[in-house]
Chains A and B, each alone.
Chain A
Amino acid sequence: MSWAQAILLARGASRGWGGICSTALTGAPFSQVPPQAPRGLRCSAAAHNPDSSLVPHPPEPPRRPVKALAVHEELFRPALDGARNKANFVRAVQNFTEYNVHKRGHVDFIYLALRKMREYGVERDLSVYNLLLDIFPKEVFRPRNIFHSIFLHYPRQQECGIAVLEQMENHGVMPNKETEFLLLQIFGRKSYPMLKLVRMKLWFTRFKNINPFPVPRDLPQDPVDLASLALRHMEPDLSARVTTYQMPLLKDSPDAMDPTETHIVGIQSPEQQSALARHDPARPIFVEGPFSLWLRDKCVYYHILRADLLPPEEREVEEIPEEWNIYYPMQLDLAYGRSSWDDYEFNIDEVEEGPVFAICVAGAHDQATLAKWIQGLQETNPALARIPVVFRLSGSSGELLPSSSELEEPPPPPPEGQEEDDSQQRQQQGQS
């Protein structure tokens, strides 16, 4: 049980949600871990005010439960200036190596440091990872003979090395030559961390650009920028124009919470614009949403302006008139068409959908805000003034509702007390 908890801790610290289902996780057989309660999935349901918005906000990273201080925790006490940055992190690590010449408890320290990296904002810094690996004593854990390398040599240390690499992997940090050299010095070539490194080097390069629609690593903090990024991400037409219909009020202004004053950002391509101009005013168009779009760890909710598909009998077949092209005939006056042996069309059942005329991302999802968007759209689409617009706003986006999400969650973590007992037990095991 204890090793599973250990991994759970290491992972849980590195990714907000991850590691929840890691009861199925397998790994090295034993481990020593300081007492700490694992963080279950905790939703901020209490903090959420269902009236303020129709949809939930993207889940906040779960709060850290109050837990017993870990060994070496004092090294990470906030500095005098209170800043949590790379320099302070590096100083903490250096303090450990300086005062601990024998490197006693270095595995615990590394696990702790891994957990702290996110707080210090260094979780994507390769040099910091190398610094952590550098804490390991060199040459001690290298297998001396074939039996060493067959049977896991110094399992707990190797486990810890893997945890460092794992955290690098989760943050997309590619190991470099120095990492390799360190691992070689610490664990030797025939070790599990080395194996992981080799695999990382192989697969990272292949997976790095696998997403044809890349999302920037650092998402903009400004909601307007984030919204326009999301809109660009959804709209395939590069000539589409992003318009900010309303800027949000400044945060410190007294009525910042007023939902009517949030940002409204929309996108529309010229093609959509002309399609809207051609739309039959007798048929209503709909504002639908909110739908969710995930950009890395942020969720953006958007609305679309769409129409129903025309029934087949009312569709106008666009004819190319005979006198269309001055230079060459657009049609051949022949009685026969394409032969079947030159027909490469696959038999695909396509579900036709009605046209989408525009997309918007707004801070609030109520009708008043969206009506402002439609008003803004009218400036560039005069035809919109004649078309009835129906708001079909669903109460939920079908995504991650806090009240219902609890049903889908894994069973809640055991109560704190039991947890503590467990970890104490574990510690005793480790020390024994």
Chain B
Amino acid sequence: MVLTEATRVFWKEAFPFPEVSRDELNEINQFLGPVEKFFTEEVDSRKIDQEGKIPDETLEKLKSLGLFGMQVPEEYGGLGLSNTMYARLAEVIGLDASIAVTLAAHQSIGLKGIILAGSKEQKARYLPRLASGEHVAAFCLTEPASGSDAASIRTRATLSADKSHYVLNGSKVWVTNGGLANVFTVFAKTEVVDSDGSVKDKITAFIVERDFGGVTNGKAEDKMGIRGSNTCEVHFENTRVPVENVLGEVGGGFKVAVNILNSGRFSMGSVVAGMLKKLIGGNDRRVRLHEETVQQEPQDSGRRQACPRLGAPGPRLTLRLGGPGCPCSRSVLTVLTLQEKFALMAQKAYVIESMAYLTAAMLDAPGFPDCSIEAAMVKVFSSEGAWTCVSEALQILGGLGYMRDYPYERLLRDSRILLIFEGTNEILRMYIALTGLQHAGRILTARVKELKRGNVTTIMETVGQRLRDSLGRTVDLGLTGKLGVVHPSLADGAHKLEENVYYFGRSVETLLLRFGKTIVEEQLVLKRVANVLINLYGMTAVLSRASRSIRLGLRAHDHEVLLANIFCSEAYHQNLFILSQLDKHSPENLDDMVKKVSQQILEKRAYICTHPLDRTS
């Protein structure tokens, strides 16, 4: 099978799990210390959430720690962190969602354009001040009338008569940091003369300073979560942007936007992993020690007196529940249905962590590899994981979790945005599936063409293969065994992964044969393809990481093996179900009915059924 071959090539990268050198690790840890201390001691997330603003001194401290220029190259005054190190740092920054979002909007998308597409002069001019935090950056793409389609952007930049500058007009919505930023990456339509002489509207990216004039912003939006971050409308009115400030080529803004967005996503995985670990009760010694000191401080409110551990500021569940003096604790910990939730959280955290660091390492590999699918998969999986886990954590505490005195409702509100921004999960699933299918389609072109033409040998081959499959063949793609890369104690999971990969390859081939390029319209099919892909990537990451842990003899690797096996089994069965849904005429596939129902509802724009108490006579 051609596709399984392609998977093997991919596994060469994913196995063994990438490592960082000792020196690098020491460097990260050294750097991590003060940041972690700052976040646990000085950042008051509750206050930030209530006041809807990050205090200035907190921002100053973040700047002095260098957190505004984490990925800016060192020559421009940044920290020049690799993707892996950035991911590690993001785990800590993720402890406060508002700060994480502010920083991410600044450097993951705000100034990323200058790093990716900026000229030397632009970099020298803007990066130093952005890296130091003197200037804050923002990314202006979305407009009131345009969603994901770049074609409907209305903001327009017109070249002045002397061709020295562009005049920018238009407004952008939902600009994170829009009120704080001094430097904006703005996308606008410009007239571009095509090679055949026709004039076309194309998107161009600009670096716009607030000082250029005509830049105003609306008042900060009142949001559900991440309330400390500043989101507002930004208006440009006859803003004069010098020609030198065109980012990339004139008319090449679309590619710039796509690159920025694709590169910005991978860090969400480690942010979520950090948050989940903290939720369960992080195993970092320093954090634990710190929290215990905090808990000894006297508490004032009545309920906190009664149940002192529940009043602790941190969101750590395990500490809260087991402790003495907490009457609600003992019973909770003996209820199996609640215990199970901890396993779920640990499993999700483990998978997200593995995926995030595998992706980061792949991005760090020499030669600017394109890992946008992987990054998108991490984003989708981690955001959904965060939402389920935080909701489950809140559930464990029952009524207490619902109270504003405790951080869980805030975490729940904050984590909801993860499924929406940087491309909604629905859109990213389309991206994952279509990019993957495009790749598979190229590999399979020759084969599909022969099948379509009715080449007898190819057809016989395929039929023979299917026959062998139906007689129950075991799939062995060489993950385990003597020369295998997966440890024998994970062999079960590895076999499941191999089987899934094999049958998924077959399904993809059938799908391409069935739909060809019209598969773009089959969005429900694409959603399933993306789900399988995400599961497969998760399985790969988990197996790779757990194998490494066993081989190195890391602490508690048996726990990791458990988690890895649980996830592989679950994902395997999920995949089997999805693959059976992808079959033509399968009873599991309810798409036709679902489509009908939704169409009828959308036609009437209402819930159609009559009330159960209604009668006709």
* Interface pair B150/A324, CB less than 8 Å apart: yes
Complex CA–CA separation, A204 to B257 (angstroms): 62
Decide yes or no whether B423 CB sits under 8 A from chain A.
yes
Is the CB of A325 closer than 8 A to any CB of chain B?
A: yes
Q: Is B332 an interface residue (CB 8 A)?
A: no
> Closest residue of chain A to B427, judged by CB?
A327
Known A-B contacts A176-B617, A332-B441, A338-B516; the reply to A326 vs B430 at CB < 8 A is: no
Q: Does B339 contact A (CB under 8 A)?
A: no
A334 x B258 contact (CB < 8 A)? no
Contact between B423 and A327 (Cβ–Cβ < 8 Å)?
yes
- Dominant secondary structure at the B interface: helix
- Give the bracket for the number of chain A residues in contact with chain B: 20 to 34
What's the Cα separation between A271 and B430 when bound, in Å? Answer: 27
| Residues on A with beta carbons closer than 8 Å to the beta carbon of B514 | 338-339, 341-342
Smallest CB separation, A203 vs chain B (Å): 11
- B513: nearest chain-A partner, CB-CB: A339
Interface of chain A, main secondary structure: loop
Cα-based distance from A337 to B449 in the complex (angstroms): 11
Which of A236, A326, A336 sits near B449, CB closer than 8 Å? Answer: A336
Q: In the assembled complex, which residues on chain B have CB atoms less than 8 Å from the CB atom of A238? A: 605
* A323 to chain B: closest residue by CB: B254
Those of B89-113 within 8 Å (CB) of chain A: none
Q: Are A326 and B445 also in contact (CB < 8 A) when A331-B517, A331-B520, A339-B514 are?
A: no
| A321 close to chain B: CB less than 8 A | yes
**Chain A residues near B516 (CB, 8 Å)?**
334, 336-339
Q: Is A352 an interface residue when CB atoms closer than 8 A count as contact?
A: no
How many angstroms from the CA of A174 to the CA of B617 in the assembled complex? Answer: 6
Q: Smallest Cβ distance from A214 to chain B, in angstroms?
A: 12
B254 partner, pick from A208, A236, A326, A332, beta carbons under 8 A: A326
Cα distance A333–B435 in the bound complex, in angstroms: 10
Cα distance A334–B449 when bound, in Å? 11
Kindly list chain B residues whose C-beta atoms are within 8 Å of the C-beta of A341.
514
Q: How far is the CA of A336 from the CA of B519 in the complex (A)?
A: 11
Given A204-B617, A333-B438, CB of A327 within 8 Å of CB of B431 = yes
Q: How far is the CB of B604 from chain A (nearest CB, A)?
A: 8
Q: How far is the CB of B516 from chain A (nearest CB, A)?
A: 4
Give the distance in Å from the alpha carbon of A329 to the alpha carbon of B262 in the complex.
Answer: 13
By a CB distance below 8 angstroms, the chain B residues around A336 are: 445, 448-449, 452, 512, 516-517
Q: List which A167-201 residues lie within 8 A (CB) of chain B.
A: 174, 176, 201
0/1 string, A154-170, CB within 8 A of B gives 1: 00000000000000000
- Quick one: closest B residue to A330, CB to CB? B520
Q: Give A341's nearest chain B residue, CB to CB.
A: B514
Asked if A328 is an interface residue, CB under 8 A from chain B, the answer is yes
How far is A176 from B513 in the complex, measured between Cα atoms in Å? 61
A145 to B617, CA, bound (A): 33
Judged by a CB distance under 8 angstroms, whether B616 is at the interface is yes
CB 8 Å contact bits of A221-263 with B (1 = contact, 0 = none): 0000000000000001010000000000000000000000000
Which of A205, A238, A328, A337 has most B Cβ within 10 Å?
A328
B616 partner, pick from A204, A330, A333, A339, beta carbons under 8 A: A204
Name B261's closest neighbour in chain A (CB-CB). Answer: A326
Q: Is A66 an interface residue (CB 8 A)?
A: no
A332-B437, A334-B438 are known contacts. Are A325 and B149 too (CB-CB below 8 A)? yes
Q: For A236, what are the chain B residues with a Cβ–Cβ distance below 8 Å?
A: 603
Cβ-neighbour of A209 out of B261, B442, B445, B616 (below 8 A): B616
- Cβ distance A317 to chain B, nearest Cβ, rounded Å: 16
Interface residues of B (CB under 8 A from A): 141, 148-151, 202-203, 254-255, 257-258, 261, 423, 427-428, 430-431, 434-435, 437-438, 441-442, 445, 448-449, 452, 512-520, 584, 603, 605, 616-617
Q: Can you report 8 residue pairs joining A to B where beta carbons are below 8 Å apart?
A: A174-B616, A201-B617, A325-B149, A326-B254, A326-B261, A329-B520, A331-B520, A332-B441
Closest 6 CB pairs of A and B: A328-B431, A205-B616, A323-B254, A336-B516, A337-B516, A334-B517
Additional pairs, 17, CB under 8 Å, beyond known A326-B258, A327-B261: A323-B203, A323-B255, A326-B257, A327-B428, A327-B431, A328-B430, A328-B431, A328-B435, A329-B438, A334-B438, A336-B445, A336-B448, A336-B512, A338-B514, A338-B516, A339-B513, A339-B516
